Structure 1
Amino acid sequence: MHLGRLFQRSVQMHGDRPALAMGCAPAANYAELDARIRALAYWMRRDLGLEPGDRVTLAMKNRAEYAQALLAAWHAGLCAVPVNSKLHPNEIDYILRDSQSRLCLTDANLYKGLRPVADDIKALHLIDVEAPRYAHAATGPQAPETIEPGQDSHAPAWLFYTSGTTGRPKGVVLSHANLVNMALNFYADVQPVDDTDVLLHVAPMSHGSGLYSVPCFLKGALQVVPSSGGFDEAETCELLQHYRNASLFAAPTIVQRLAEYVASRNAPLPGLKSIIVAGAPFYVEDIKQAVRVLGPRIAQIYGQGESPMSITAQTASRIARAVEQNDDEFLGSVGHAQASIEISIEDASGNRQKANQAGEIMVSGPTVMQGYWQNPQASHDTLRDGKLHTGDIGLIDGRGLLHLKDRSKDVIISGGTNIYPREVEETLMQHPDVAEVSVIGMPDPHWGESILAFVVRREGRPPAGPAELDALCLSRMARFKRPKRYVFLDQLPKNATGKVLKRQLYDLVPPTP
């Protein structure tokens, strides 16, 4: 169940089938892609001196080199560390150090900002995949010897950094076996895949889209990276006219934008097989509109970084039937447990709840992470009693459907990306005019949620305005984490112990101007 060996199986079975393409350009077939992967694996191990188990950080926008590097790292027995390319270099610095990465592959957009970071980290190679050095490594002469793919299915394959509302990001350790079981669940519960399928990477490959490359290449399907490296409505429609049997992973905001574009232009999408939606709440009316405009092609999953893409699922056909039947209870759920997953709802004392009783969602199964990277206490707290304590609140109804009710962690999900309030709060507290701050998420019709910051100014200081606070945020963290609105208060509501009462903050939100 090692992904490197399973890719070799696909090469043997589908060597002449298209494997990887940029936009509408001719695709490399599986045999050609394999030659690049073997060359890169040799370069990583022999030229750069990496050893099995070493971490390779991938900090770049979607591009063909991303898929190549991911597969090459697995072939070489290395562990991939995917990084959101929108992160600030300071944030990537922490991930590089905590993961003890030996290699960081990036692109020209990020290379300059990461160069000072890399210079300060001993034994780290920083390499631009657009530079001649990388191109030569991937296309140079045949290596005098080959690197055989790994065999240990329990070796770390994907080290994904996530966090709650407090503390530093934690590295979720996912093994090769975890990801293979994720793929098997995909075939069983989301949709079948064969060598005529296409996966469009319009969402970040550092997240769900990259994970779904696994069920794609295991079946000899084609991966396509848009020339833009992301989501653009017109480009996506063009690709869905060029390719057939194409699926894409997307956050609800991408689906909404695509549906609006298609509806306004009556644009045909003959090549669309399905859109697999996850990463943020997908509201019932938005699901109905997407099905009306895009057809019976909308599937949905619920997962976490700790059990990736693999807790519950709703197939496109079942969602379409629920829309036709006005079954809002089904549409308001996130579906049934995936095939290898067991879900229970428990109260604070660990008692299993009955149907329609809310509690914390507990998950067990072969997709659940091994633990948090070098963080045994957090691993113990989250994986108690053989179950993943998700921190999410939900209930299971009489039909076995899981309904998400709340998040016990105050994570804000904007455009399918997790934003952690404390991270934003600590940044704003660095401004000398800010005495206190508390950040919450507000409903946003376009992004799902947007960030609102409540700020208490220091007495006797010149007042800091939104422009100054924006500039501070942009200098220290990714743009998408910047608050969209600021509300200035004389004091924050607190309980007797001094804890900010975030629920009361919602009552203090002024009307949108």
Structure 2
Amino acid sequence: MNIAVWLQRMAAAEGARPALYLGREPVADYATFQARAASVAGWLLQQGIQPGDRVGIFMKNCPDYLIALYGIWHAGAAAVPINAKLHGREAEYILQNSGAGLLFTSPGLTEAVEASGAAVRCVDISGAEYAAALQAAPVAGPAFRAPGDLAWLFYTSGTTGRPKGVMITHRMLMTMALAYFADVDQVSAEDHALYAAPMSHGAGIYAIQHVLAGAAHVCPESGGFDETEIFDLAAHFGRVHMFAAPTMVTRMTAAAKQTGRRGEGLRTVVYAGGPMYLADIIEAVDHFGPVFVQVYGQGECPMAITALPRRDVQDRGHPRWRERLASVGRAQSVVEVRIGTPEGEFLPAGSHGEIMVCGEAVMPGYWNNPEATARTLVNGWLMTGDMGVLDADGYLTLQDRSKDMIITGGSNVYPREVEEVLLMHPGVREVSVVGRLHADWGEEVVAFVVGDAPDAELDDLCTSRIARFKRPKAYLRIDALPKNNYGKVLKTELRKRLADIS
């Protein structure tokens, strides 16, 4: 079944319901949304696009992003969304690897792609060609797609090399959307999805369940993340849902406390995509109230591994509420989660090991990369590369990527555990812990610190909370942690800096 069928059904049943907004301005109701997507699909077919072909989207957040996305699906093609913050040369690699011959772009990004020399036809949404696509003869309905057919080709962030194309099928997207209702949150036609994070990733994937429910979709006029704009739009529309990376949540909390805003109109903030430190989420809940839900997923199992619902995020009565809040919740209904060895052997509850996932939301493999697929899918299980521990109640606590674990003197140190402790000091704004080669111990623990906390106080804090071998042997001051376009700290860059100064 084609995921675009859900839009077609909503347009038929509730066509007059508001669908797309740019800021506060209405752009389309559901009937118009569907009609424009169907016209884009008809135009794509006229250009020779066939079911199964890949069509790229390199655009900032805007209502036409969803029109182009659903137009691609209507035509039976697969979307290749590319983060608008990427360099043109990075986009060129994704386009070349995916085989996309046509690319929807927004002003400013067209030039970046053309300058990269990418062999692709750009269709700028501000130009005459896209205007013609919106007026093309519409297709009668979405092209038939089997559940296992490719719908979304998602390219990993590539912090350790070239990004890989994760094959996301129509079945995976439907499975994720239905699990959202079961395990994450409810959505009604009165809700508003606010897109402040890149629509090329989790925020855009979450459009699917909001289309199914007939909710409205709001794109900020800025095309991105601005705390004041978010607060203003939430207060205007009410019942606002948004996806946010943990760094966005911390910025929203800081901005709200500085300006006296309380997040009026925010109904649900789903945070995912990186580590949320315990102190940060406690502060956010204390200020905004019970609006937060956590999801853990990967491109290889998009948004569908575990969930920590709002009742757990706001709970302060359970004797282990801190441990649960520091976790990423329990397995979603559509997957099974286990802890295992690198060879895929299961470990008992309470063991530290690699997080393994199986279920209908797991990818069939990487695009044109059988070697990486074989390494990642072992006996039907997705080897996530993330390390964690699963307690007896089913709560999963992330530790780090397997490659980030530090082995010092034969003992394992998980950087996140040390980072959680260091962030308790009010003089530490951000911190990232990495391993540095050591002649005697193999590696030693080093902390990159943003802030002015004295070394002695950080040592005392660590000594009071964690084993001595986990305590950093050096605190290196840094103005800001290097991050990729999705807000994840680039530990590879920090390791390079260590190598340069050693």
- How far the C-alpha of 1:325 sits from its partner, in A, is 6.6
Residues 77-106 of structure 1, C-alpha deviations (whole Å, 9 max, x = no match)? 010001111111111111111000021111
Residues 351-401 of structure 1, C-alpha deviations (whole Å, 9 max, x = no match)? 311111101110001110111001111111111100001011111012210
Instruction: Tell me what 1:30 maps to.
Output: 30
Residues 209-262 of structure 1, C-alpha deviations (whole Å, 9 max, x = no match)? 001001110111111100000111111111011112111000111111111122
Which residue identity lines up with residue 20 of structure 1 in the other structure?
L
Percent of residue pairs bearing the same amino acid type: 41
**Residue 351 in 1 paired to residue 345 in 2?**
yes
| 1:127 counterpart (123, 126, 133) | 123
| 1:288 counterpart (265, 278, 282) | 282
Instruction: Tell me what 1:20 maps to.
Output: 20
**Maintained 8 Å contact 1:57/1:104:** yes
- How far the C-alpha of 1:167 sits from its partner, in A, is 4.0
| 2:203 counterpart (197, 209, 220) | 209
User: Could you state the TM-score of these two structures normalised by the residue count of structure 2?
Assistant: 0.80
Which residue identity lines up with residue 216 of structure 1 in the other structure?
H
Instruction: Tell me what 1:319 maps to.
Output: 313
Instruction: Tell me what 2:214 maps to.
Output: 220
Q: How does 1:254-273 map to 2 (within 5 A)?
A: 254-273=248-267
RMSD: 3.0
**Maintained 8 Å contact 1:60/1:85:** yes
Which residue identity lines up with residue 390 of structure 1 in the other structure?
T
CA distance in 1: counterparts of 2:384 and 2:296, whole angstroms? 12
Q: How does 1:481-500 map to 2 (within 5 A)?
A: none
Check 1:485–1:173 CA distance in 2 against 1; reply closer, same or farther (3 A cut). closer
CA distance in 2: counterparts of 1:131 and 1:81, whole angstroms? 21
- How far the C-alpha of 1:149 sits from its partner, in A, is 2.8
CA distance in 1: counterparts of 2:375 and 2:185, whole angstroms? 34
CA distance in 2: counterparts of 1:348 and 1:86, whole angstroms? 34
Which residue identity lines up with residue 13 of structure 2 in the other structure?
M
**Maintained 8 Å contact 2:262/2:288:** no
Instruction: Tell me what 2:410 maps to.
Output: none
Residues 274-301 of structure 1, C-alpha deviations (whole Å, 9 max, x = no match)? 1000011001111110001111111101
Which residue identity lines up with residue 211 of structure 1 in the other structure?
I
User: Could you state the TM-score of these two structures normalised by the residue count of structure 1?
Assistant: 0.79
Instruction: Tell me what 1:83 maps to.
Output: 82
**Maintained 8 Å contact 1:173/1:372:** yes
Which residue identity lines up with residue 241 of structure 2 in the other structure?
S
CA distance in 1: counterparts of 2:232 and 2:97, whole angstroms? 41
Check 1:326–1:65 CA distance in 2 against 1; reply closer, same or farther (3 A cut). same
Structure 1 gap ranges (5+): 414-420, 422-439, 446-472, 488-501
**Residue 174 in 1 paired to residue 168 in 2?**
yes
Check 1:442–1:383 CA distance in 2 against 1; reply closer, same or farther (3 A cut). farther
**Maintained 8 Å contact 1:79/1:158:** yes
**Maintained 8 Å contact 1:322/1:331:** no
Which residue identity lines up with residue 302 of structure 1 in the other structure?
Y
Instruction: Tell me what 1:236 maps to.
Output: 230
Check 1:410–1:131 CA distance in 2 against 1; reply closer, same or farther (3 A cut). farther
- How far the C-alpha of 1:165 sits from its partner, in A, is 5.6
Structure 2 gap ranges (5+): 406-414, 417-433, 435-445, 452-481
- How far the C-alpha of 1:133 sits from its partner, in A, is 2.0
- How far the C-alpha of 1:147 sits from its partner, in A, is 5.6
CA distance in 1: counterparts of 2:122 and 2:290, whole angstroms? 45
CA distance in 2: counterparts of 1:321 and 1:509, whole angstroms? 45
Instruction: Tell me what 1:495 maps to.
Output: none
Instruction: Tell me what 2:111 maps to.
Output: 112
Instruction: Tell me what 1:274 maps to.
Output: 268
Aligned pair count reads 434
The farther-off stretch of 57-66 and 316-325 is: 316-325
Instruction: Tell me what 1:71 maps to.
Output: 70
**Maintained 8 Å contact 1:288/1:323:** no
| 1:309 counterpart (303, 310, 321) | 303
**Maintained 8 Å contact 2:292/2:313:** yes
Which residue identity lines up with residue 151 of structure 1 in the other structure?
R
CA distance in 2: counterparts of 1:212 and 1:400, whole angstroms? 25
Which residue identity lines up with residue 188 of structure 1 in the other structure?
A
**Residue 407 in 1 paired to residue 406 in 2?**
no
Which residue identity lines up with residue 336 of structure 1 in the other structure?
R
The farther-off stretch of 142-151 and 190-199 is: 142-151
**Maintained 8 Å contact 1:5/1:151:** no
Residues 92-151 of structure 1, C-alpha deviations (whole Å, 9 max, x = no match)? 111111000021111111111211445x52xx321111112212321x2x6286464333
Instruction: Describe the SS at the equivalent of 2:26.
Output: coil
- How far the C-alpha of 1:53 sits from its partner, in A, is 0.8
- How far the C-alpha of 1:328 sits from its partner, in A, is 0.8
Instruction: Tell me what 2:100 maps to.
Output: 101
CA distance in 2: counterparts of 1:485 and 1:381, whole angstroms? 21
Instruction: Describe the SS at the equivalent of 1:51.
Output: coil
Check 1:250–1:441 CA distance in 2 against 1; reply closer, same or farther (3 A cut). farther
Which residue identity lines up with residue 114 of structure 2 in the other structure?
R
**Maintained 8 Å contact 1:241/1:268:** no
Instruction: Tell me what 2:455 maps to.
Output: none
Instruction: Describe the SS at the equivalent of 2:84.
Output: coil
Which residue identity lines up with residue 358 of structure 2 in the other structure?
S
CA distance in 2: counterparts of 1:82 and 1:278, whole angstroms? 19
Instruction: Tell me what 1:452 maps to.
Output: none
CA distance in 2: counterparts of 1:144 and 1:401, whole angstroms? 48
The farther-off stretch of 352-361 and 149-158 is: 149-158
Which residue identity lines up with residue 191 of structure 2 in the other structure?
D
Which residue identity lines up with residue 358 of structure 1 in the other structure?
H
Check 1:145–1:373 CA distance in 2 against 1; reply closer, same or farther (3 A cut). closer
CA distance in 1: counterparts of 2:166 and 2:52, whole angstroms? 15
Instruction: Describe the SS at the equivalent of 1:104.
Output: strand
**Maintained 8 Å contact 1:23/1:226:** yes
CA distance in 2: counterparts of 1:484 and 1:370, whole angstroms? 29
Instruction: Describe the SS at the equivalent of 2:379.
Output: helix
Check 1:389–1:26 CA distance in 2 against 1; reply closer, same or farther (3 A cut). same
Which residue identity lines up with residue 329 of structure 1 in the other structure?
E
**Maintained 8 Å contact 1:5/1:150:** no
Q: How does 1:304-453 map to 2 (within 5 A)?
A: 304-322=298-316, 327-410=321-404, 442=448
The runs of 4+ residues in structure 1 deviating greater than 3 Å are 144-148, 163-167, 322-326, 409-413, 440-445, 477-487, 502-506
